[in-house]
Amino acid sequence: MPIEPRNVPTVVVSRRAEPGREAEFETWMQRLHTAAQTAPGHVRSDVRAPNEHHPGEWMIVYQFDSVEYLDEWLDSSVRNELIDEGQDLVASEPREQIVAMSIEPEPVTAVASFRLESDSGERFARFDQDVRAALAGFDGYLGSRVYEPVPGVQDDTVIAFSFDSRAHLDAWLESPERAALLATIDPVLEGERVINVVDDIGASFGGWFGNEPDQPPVKRWKQATIILVALFPTSLSLSVLRGWLLPDLPLVASVLGSNIVGIALLTWLLMPYLTRLFDRWLRR
């Protein structure tokens, strides 16, 4: 199997926030991230909060298309001024790791569902067209698909859309463009809009795609595809079943119950079957 070229200079900088100043520290890190995006040669950057893999440490990752551009950013007056401004927010000396990496997108898929009034088809068609046009202008957008209602089976209209990272997805979810578009369709909705996010595919669901020592790792976009194939009909079926059997169930209990049953079905039934069925495609 060919080895992907590792020709993207990358620096990972780890820092610890001064206790009690975490909120200011996060804002400062986001300013660094934003400034890097305007630098020449910028490919990608990402801020990662502490988690079980790097407890207590905030990480910022920069990727540039050449070593020269990476060095130019690291030594730039813009970055140095921001570093000076944040000195009091950092609890210890930062750790830097520089490595040549390949680009491996980590797809994140959001599934949104809502119920339309019966005579709103043309309005939704215009809305869908405008949404696709807006999405195309956002960094990291990979694609979307509309699942129209099926009489007697699926009352909701469902839209699944994917980005190459959670940061890019969040930029869309929090954008004024999305808010303005939703305002145009809200008047013809019946009930609430519901959205679920399949985030951090490799970390959260890696056990479904466990690799043998002699096997290549499964690409993240393929993992996302298989999970969506399992997740969408499962979520849809549970929603229909809950509406039929327990229409008055409170929202919190409904979501919790659906998640418990859905995760159980995916973990012990659907994902083992699908990973076996598509094993050859997954390993290519």
pLDDT tens for the chain, residues 1 to 284: 333 444 567 777 888 999 999 889 988 998 998 898 889 888 888 888 887 656 788 888 888 888 888 889 989 999 999 999 999 999 888 877 665 444 444 567 777 778 888 788 888 889 988 998 999 889 888 888 787 776 654 567 878 788 888 888 889 989 999 999 999 988 888 877 767 665 544 444 445 555 444 455 566 667 777 777 877 788 778 778 877 887 777 766 666 677 677 777 777 777 778 877 887 777 66
> Domain count of the chain?
3
Q: Check whether residue 223 and residue 275 sit in a common domain.
A: yes
Residue 1 lies in a domain: no
Q: Check whether residue 82 and residue 127 sit in a common domain.
A: no
The answer to whether 7 touches 41, Cβ cutoff 8 Å, is no
Q: Check whether residue 123 and residue 90 sit in a common domain.
A: no
Residue 37 lies in a domain: yes
Residue 278 pLDDT: 80
Q: SS3 of 121, please?
A: helix
What is the Cα Rg of the chain in Å? 22
Tell me, what CATH number does 46's domain have?
A: 3.30.70.100
Residue 3 lies in a domain: no
Residues 6+ apart with CB under 8 A from 160: 109, 110, 111, 112, 144, 145, 147, 228, 232
Q: Check whether residue 181 and residue 227 sit in a common domain.
A: no
- Please state, as a whole number, how many other Cβ atoms lie within 10 Å of the Cβ of residue 191: 9
Q: CA dihedral in degrees (223, 175, 147, 189; nearest 10)?
A: 150
- Please state, as a whole number, how many other Cβ atoms lie within 10 Å of the Cβ of residue 220: 18
Pairing of strands 95-101, 108-116: unpaired
Alpha-carbon distance of 110 to 119, in angstroms, equals: 26
Residue where a domain terminates, one of 84, 101, 118: 101
Q: Check whether residue 39 and residue 94 sit in a common domain.
A: yes
What six digits make up the tokens of 180?
Answer: 């303005």
Nearest to 112 by CA among 274, 272, 235, 248: 235
Residue 92 lies in a domain: yes
Alpha-carbon distance of 244 to 249, in angstroms, equals: 11
Q: Check whether residue 15 and residue 88 sit in a common domain.
A: yes
Which residues pair with residue 15 across a beta bridge?
58
Nearest to 60 by CA among 39, 75, 74, 45: 45
Residue 128 lies in a domain: yes
Q: Check whether residue 87 and residue 135 sit in a common domain.
A: no
Q: Check whether residue 270 and residue 210 sit in a common domain.
A: yes
Nearest to 17 by CA among 5, 6, 25, 9: 25
Domain that holds residue 16: 8-101
Residue 217 pLDDT: 57
The answer to whether 124 touches 67, Cβ cutoff 8 Å, is no
Residue 2 lies in a domain: no
Residue 239 pLDDT: 77
Residue 208 lies in a domain: yes
For tokens 């669901």, the residue is: 205
Q: SS3 of 79, please?
A: helix
DSSP states along 24-60: HHHHHHHHHHHHHHTSTTEEEEEEE---SSSTT-EEE
Residue 255 pLDDT: 64
Alpha-carbon distance of 107 to 224, in angstroms, equals: 6
Residue 124 lies in a domain: yes
Residue length of the chain: 284
